[in-house]
Structures are given as C-alpha cells and as structure tokens.
C-alpha cells in the first residue's frame, strides 16, 4: 500500500437535502470546498493554495451538485484534514458550503461529529454561545452504512434549511 492509499482509505459519503418550511428545493445548487486529509502548509491544502503541493494529485478540493426532485444531493469525498491558523491553534476538519435555492443563498461550514477539535474552534464556540441548537445544526450526523458505499466509508447526513427557499 502506498502512502496515498493509506491516507485516502477513509472516505466519506455525504447525503443531504436542502429545503425550507418543510418543503424541499428541486434544482438547488450546492458548492462544497475543503482541504485534503492531513493537509498542512508543508504538504498542501488543495487547489486554493496553488503554491503548495497536494498529497493527492487528483484531489480537486471542491464539488458543485444540483439537488434532485426531493431536494437531495450526494457526493463522495475524503474527510478533510485539520490545518493550522496560528502557531497555537488549528481549524478542525470541516467542509465549506455555498447553497443557492430559488430565493435564498446560504454560506456555512459543516463540522464532523465526535471531532475533538470542534471544542477548540473559535467559530464553533461562537455558534455554541448563541445556542446549543445552533451548534448542533452545523455538525453532520453519522448514518448507518448502506450497500452503496465502500465497507470502510462513513455515511454522513447534513440537511440545510433556507429561510425562503
């Protein structure tokens, strides 16, 4: 097994929906962007840092998908790595989302469940200070694996609700 096989063996399947007021949004646009797993300034952080060498040359770092008739979207990726933001702090693994419905747009970050660095992240702690419900809304939920995903993959769910669709 080469180093990339080992690093990228834990894939994530994200299955989510966008909606508003209990209604789903057909044809919504979902843009997701993230770093590589185990990315560091020395190793690389994907295509948004072109001066740095990525671990996986085929890693694109982003995806754009359109929701189906039930407002669902799905993509497969790797769990992003934490990265340093100062000599004493780092961001936890997360994925940036830019979601457009028919009337609204939302930019947010999805955090991973059971991630110890969440509790040290200033953005996450700020959301928690607003309410536990707000903090819980940005954490994906672990779902039971299905036959559609690899044996070693995780299935996560994260629903996005737009104010007016």
Q: What does the pLDDT look like over 51-101, one tens digit per residue? A: 445 556 666 778 888 888 888 888 878 788 887 777 788 889 999 899 888
Q: What does the pLDDT look like over 100-130, one tens digit per residue? A: 888 888 889 999 999 999 999 999 999 999 9
Q: pLDDT band at residue 138, thresholds of 50, 70 and 90?
A: very high
Radius of gyration of the chain (CA): 16
Q: Residue 125 has what pLDDT?
A: 96
Q: Residue 56 has what pLDDT?
A: 62
Instruction: Count other C-beta atoms under 10 Å from residue 164's C-beta.
Output: 9
CATH number for 117 = 2.60.130.10
**Alpha carbon distances (Å) from 156 to 8, 29, 74, 135, 161:** 17, 19, 10, 17, 17
Please state the domain count of the chain: 1
Q: pLDDT band at residue 2, thresholds of 50, 70 and 90?
A: very low
The mean pLDDT of the chain is 76
Contact between 152 and 11 (Cβ < 8 Å)? yes
Q: Residue 39 has what pLDDT?
A: 45
Mean pLDDT of 10-27: 66
Domain extent at residue 46: 3-161
């Amino acid at each position: 097994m080469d180093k990339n096989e080992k690093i990228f063996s834990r894939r994530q399947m994200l299955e989510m929906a966008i909606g508003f007021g209990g209604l789903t949004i057909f044809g919504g646009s979902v843009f997701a962007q993230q770093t590589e797993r185990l990315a560091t300034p020395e190793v690389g952080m994907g295509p948004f840092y072109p001066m740095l060498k990525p671990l996986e040359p085929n890693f694109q770092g982003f995806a754009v998908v359109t929701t189906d008739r039930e407002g669902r979207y799905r993509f497969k990726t790797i769990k992003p790595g934490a990265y340093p933001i100062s000599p004493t702090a780092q961001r936890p693994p997360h994925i940036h989302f830019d979601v457009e419905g028919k009337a609204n747009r939302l930019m947010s970050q999805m955090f991973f469940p059971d991630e110890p660095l969440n509790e040290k992240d200033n953005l996450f702690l700020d959301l928690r200070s607003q309410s536990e419900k707000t903090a819980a809304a940005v954490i994906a939920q672990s779902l039971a694996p299905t036959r559609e995903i690899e044996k070693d993959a995780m299935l996560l769910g994260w629903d996005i609700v737009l104010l007016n669709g």
